[in-house]
Amino acid sequence: MGKHKAINIFNWLQKKIIPSRSLPPIPAAIWQKPSYFVAFGFGTGALPIAPGTFGTLIAIPFYLLLQPLPFYAYLTIVLLCAIVSMKLCDILSKEIHVHDHPGMNIDEIIGFLVTMIHAPPHWLWIIVGFALFRLFDIWKPWPIHWLDQKVPGGIGMVLDDILAGIYGLVIIQALAWSITTAVP
């Protein structure tokens, strides 16, 4: 299947599955330029439904690769990835003339990695982290919604997900602490 045919299928599915919402088309460059492929969640952003959820799912293997690292190494990598993601989102959103394209979901990957900072190493915590991050990313309690609306460019696109990740991080750490202190 050709690259353009795949894009046409994704755009057709998007119109059929979500006809009531006016979504911007999926850029063909996702399959042609590595920067687009990465920014669109390694292709998950081309899916016609729930690109944020699929972007968060694709973050799990990255988390599993980073999880064994020492705390400061994990933190440094996440910080560097966040900075690169901000710049990448800013550049690509200008190229496609769409601010915060729903398929540009690298910010979900960064947000999930933030949620999982220093999380206990168990599959249950991955599920809890996934659920918490998606909750805060969709709900956007204050000041996440404000950041999403008021902070321009790539910084705003990624910063709201980082804050949603921090909310999830705080809850995971509180849960982990309460469980470990409750067990004698």
In 3D space, the residue among 108, 91, 92 whose CA is nearest the CA of residue 41 turns out to be: 108
Q: Which tens digit of pLDDT belongs to each residue from 12-55?
A: 555 555 554 577 899 999 999 999 999 999 999 999 889 999 99
pLDDT band (50, 70, 90) for residue 147:
confident
Distances (CA, A) of 110 to 65, 75, 83, 155: 14, 11, 10, 12
The total number of structural domains in the chain stands at 1
The reported pLDDT for the residue numbered 57 is 97
Q: Which residue has the higher pLDDT, 8 or 155?
A: 155
Q: 95 and 40 in contact (C-beta within 8 Å)?
A: no
The reported pLDDT for the residue numbered 23 is 78
Give the mean pLDDT of the chain. 90
For residue 123, the enclosing domain spans 3-182
Cα 23 from Cα 149, distance rounded (Å): 18
Which positions ≥6 away from 52 have C-beta within 8 Å?
102, 105, 108, 134, 137, 138
| pTM of the full structure | 0.88
pLDDT band (50, 70, 90) for residue 184:
low
Residue given tokens 């168990």 in the structure block:
122
pLDDT of residue 148 exceeding 90, the answer is: no
